[in-house]
């Protein structure tokens, strides 16, 4: 579908997602590295403040501040590609559902948002899993560690040489399970956006009615065609935070499983997902499934803010910027 500015919605969604992925990765890569180190650690129990020794170890023994940006290339490629594909697929699937619902004179439901985001997540996970395998291995080890990949391309060549195509799809099962995270997040995000838009529109109508009296003008210059106000950056900030916290608290253990199964020697330690679950439970207890949760929360909330604010603003202003160029 092409808008009145001549830009297709697919192009706008893809560019907005791609830009959001790059921005969030550049800002928060060091926290992603610390989180990954904690997730793959099998030698210690999860505890508050556990990230401090990891930060100190990286800084002192791996090259100072530069070491916190190891694996930046695959992380940028992975995040930018994933968000671009995700928003593109999500937009198309949601659009198809909206067309079908409109034909029945119905609005999209929570189940529709969940299904649309889940389907987009499945497609994106299957297409980008090879990137995440390389990224996890690079972030989980220092550049001087034996067998460490020197670069993204070196890692790809080494995996293909030693493990074949299947090596690029290690951790895919927990990654597919993790699609539920994105599905829950977007379901909550969309419903909170609708709720806030309606509430904001009602507040504007009430304020305008009081100002002009009964029968006066009740319109709003920033209301959309459905009568709902455009949300501001503060609205998006709060809504994205709440939706991310909700999804993160429910689904975090899959990230630990995925990271464990994507490390260099995973095939020697775990026979599969069930074995990984059993070993973590036996040796580390339930807290083992939440290792790295602290730095993950520190990382994902700012990452969510950057991602959604950049995405929503790029989507809103990109057509005007190109038209005015």
> pLDDT higher for 325 or 24?
24
Confirm whether 13 is domain-assigned.
yes
Confirm whether 130 is domain-assigned.
yes
Confirm whether 3 is domain-assigned.
no
The secondary structure of 32-99, three-state, reads HHHHHHHHHCCCCCCCCCCHHHHHHHHHHHCCHHHHHHCCHHHHHHHHHHHHHHHHHHHHHHHHHHHH
Confirm whether 132 is domain-assigned.
yes
50: which 2 tokens?
Answer: 């556990």
What global pTM score does this model have?
Answer: 0.68
Confirm whether 139 is domain-assigned.
yes
pLDDT score of 324 more than 90 = no
Specify the number of domains making up the chain.
1
List pLDDT tens digits, range 287-316: 888 888 777 777 778 888 888 899 889 888
Least confident of 222-231, 235-244, 266-275: 222-231
pLDDT range class, residue 44, cuts 50, 70, 90: low
Confirm whether 1 is domain-assigned.
no
Rounded Cα distance between 8 and 18, Å, is 16
CATH code of the domain containing 117: 1.50.40.10
Confirm whether 80 is domain-assigned.
yes
Confirm whether 113 is domain-assigned.
yes
Nearest partner of 121 among 175, 68, 69, judged by Cα: 175
Q: Which residue has the tokens 């290339």?
A: 73
Rounded Cα distance between 167 and 216, Å, is 67
Q: Domain containing 27: what range?
A: 9-324
């Amino acid at each position: 579908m092409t808008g009145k500015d001549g830009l297709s919605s697919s192009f706008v969604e893809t560019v907005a997602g791609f830009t959001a992925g790059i921005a969030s990765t550049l800002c928060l890569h060091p926290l992603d590295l610390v989180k990954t180190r904690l997730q793959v650690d099998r030698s210690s129990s999860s505890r508050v403040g556990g990230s401090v020794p990891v930060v100190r170890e990286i800084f002192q023994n791996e090259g100072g501040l530069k070491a916190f940006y190891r694996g930046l290339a695959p992380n940028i490629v992975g995040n930018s590609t994933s968000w671009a594909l995700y928003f593109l697929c999500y937009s198309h699937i949601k659009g198809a559902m909206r067309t079908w619902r409109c034909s029945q004179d119905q609005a999209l439901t929570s189940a529709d948002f969940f299904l649309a985001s889940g389907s987009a997540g499945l497609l994106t996970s299957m297409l980008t899993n090879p990137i995440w395998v390389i990224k996890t291995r690079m972030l989980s080890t220092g550049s001087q560690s034996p067998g460490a990949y020197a670069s993204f391309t070196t890692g790809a060549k080494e995996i293909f040489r030693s493990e074949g195509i299947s090596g690029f799809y290690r951790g895919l099962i927990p990654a597919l399970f993790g699609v539920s995270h994105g599905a829950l997040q977007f379901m909550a995000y969309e419903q909170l956006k609708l709720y806030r838009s309606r509430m904001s529109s009602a507040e504007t109508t009430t304020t305008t009615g009081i100002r002009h009296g009964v029968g006066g003008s009740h319109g709003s210059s920033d209301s959309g065609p459905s009568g709902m106000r455009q949300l501001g950056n503060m609205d998006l900030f709060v809504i994205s935070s709440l939706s991310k916290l909700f999804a993160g608290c429910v689904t975090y253990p899959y990230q630990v499983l995925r990271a464990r199964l994507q490390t260099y020697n995973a095939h020697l330690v775990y026979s599969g997902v069930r074995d990984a679950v059993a070993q973590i439970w036996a040796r580390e207890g339930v807290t083992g499934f939440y290792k790295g949760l602290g730095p993950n929360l520190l990382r994902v909330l700012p990452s969510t803010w950057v991602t959604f604010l950049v995405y929503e603003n790029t989507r809103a202003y990109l057509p005007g910027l190109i038209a005015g160029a």
